[in-house]
Amino acid sequence: MDLSIALGVVIMVVSVTGTTDDKVCGGKPAEIFFLLDSSSSVWREDYNRQKQFVADVVDKFVISENHTRVGLAVFSNTYRLWFPIDRYLDKERMKRAVMQLPYLTGDTNTHIALKYMRERGFNPSLVRKDVARIGIILTDGKSRYTNKTLLEAQRCKDDGIVLFTIGIGDKIDMKELNSVGTNPSYVFQVAGFDVLYEIRQKLAFKACTVEAPQKDEPSCGKMKKADVMFLYDSGTLGSSKVAQINRFIEDVVPHFNMASGNIRTGILTTNCYRGDFNLDQYRDKTEFITQLRNSDIPDLSSVVRRLRLHSYNPENGGRPNVRKMAVIFLDDKLRVPKKVMSEVARAKFGDIEIFVVTVGDKYDPKEVEDICTPPMNNHMINFESYNSLADVKNVTRPNFINMFCNDLVDPKP
């Protein structure tokens, strides 16, 4: 064979086989986490196709400590981490591990997978700062709990995680997948597992376009300090309402600038009530009944009392010369208004600024006005129900954040 022809063949082969890593992403760093559906609706043969698809997509990236790192988990009823993003820095070892992923079977609890991917897969101790975090979810059906799935997806996005969704087959819910995906161009649909390979190149290219979010620290407290306490009468409210209040607090606190140390937050409830009687404490029934009648049943006044006497003390994290703020949740008239108002007056005298969040319409407006630090319209907000309080998309929530943070944001130039 002519030497020039042979060289031409060699050069052509090299140019073709060289179109793997750098041609796709240019070696741009990323943290990528795959979530694979292993519910009972996915047949074992199709499950193997999912694994091969992931291995093929991995092959498109430069896998190294300074480039792309990949994690993998499988979900059905539960979530099972197969390997974290810092486990494999050798591509071939990673691809072999992908192909060994176990088959689980069960239901499609996508919300659990999203939650654990956010909390564990992209744990701050594992991920690199200022590097794009990408979650890729493959599924062949609708999730068991749509509302929970959408909530967890939103939490991922709020945390700066970019979500890709891949719907496989004709049992998927495209509305749900579009809601989970960060934007429509990150949502894929294929007719079946046997044609997954058709989107591997497109998925890899799309993932390469993702940039690390430029997350600014929240402005609430960026320049000013405050010690913030949330308080409620848990004994009166009950566990269901308390759970929804905690969900509200959970979604509000990320708007506070806590990383700088300017904002500190705490929660105060009536859970520390010590009104128990031991079996051998009273032998005389008259003494027992008398003591029972004289027992101090905890209510909101006891919570406010602990707030002013203990919450802002240095041993509990309080700081001198820092703004003291409290948020009280109410959904009804006060059981012992005189006691509550007495403690509130003392709290205000101690320079504690009090905000009130009311739920429903059974509260007493006059009581709320007396509790709030004036002016009332800057310290009180109402949610029509506990469902709306816990709803991350409720339009009243930004109003609360704006009201509460009004004097804690950066000064206007």
pLDDT, one tens digit for every residue, the chain (413 residues): 444 444 343 333 333 333 444 445 667 899 999 999 888 888 989 899 999 999 999 999 999 999 999 999 999 989 999 999 999 999 999 999 999 989 888 888 999 999 999 999 999 889 998 899 999 999 988 898 988 898 898 888 878 899 999 999 888 899 999 989 988 889 999 999 999 989 999 999 899 888 877 656 677 887 789 999 999 988 888 889 999 999 999 888 888 888 777 899 999 987 555 556 666 676 777 777 777 676 666 689 989 999 999 999 998 889 999 999 999 999 999 988 999 999 999 999 999 999 999 999 999 999 999 999 999 999 999 999 999 998 877 778 888 888 888 777 544 43
CB 112, CB 75: distance < 8 Å = yes
Q: How far apart are CA 268 and CA 37, in angstroms?
A: 40
Residue 275 has a pLDDT of 57
Distance CA 242, CA 299 (A): 15
- Reference 173, options 34, 41, 46; nearest CA is 41
- Position 1 scores a pLDDT of 45
Residue type, 282: Y
Category of 105 on φ-ψ map: left (φ > 0), alpha (ψ -120 to 50) or beta: left
User: Contact 210/181 with Cβ under 8 angstroms?
Assistant: no
Tell me which amino acid residue 49 is.
R
Helix (H) or strand (E) holding 313: none
In whole angstroms, what is the distance from residue 175 CA to residue 153 CA?
Answer: 13
pLDDT of residue 383: 95
Distance in angstroms (rounded) separating the CA atoms of residues 267 and 307: 10
- Please, is 78 exposed, middle or buried when counting C-beta atoms within 10 Å of its C-beta (0-12, 13-18, 19+)? middle
**Gap between the Cα atoms of 236 and 329, Å rounded:** 11
Evaluated on CA atoms 189, 190, 192, 193, the torsion sign reads negative
Long-range contacts of 406-411 (CB under 8 A, 24+ apart): 406/378, 407/224, 408/220, 408/221, 408/224, 408/226, 408/263, 408/323, 409/219, 409/220, 409/222, 409/223, 410/219, 410/222, 410/223, 411/223
Instruction: Please tell me whether the overall predicted TM-score, pTM, comes out greater than 0.75 for this model.
Output: no
Q: What tokens appear for 224 in the block?
A: 């000013």
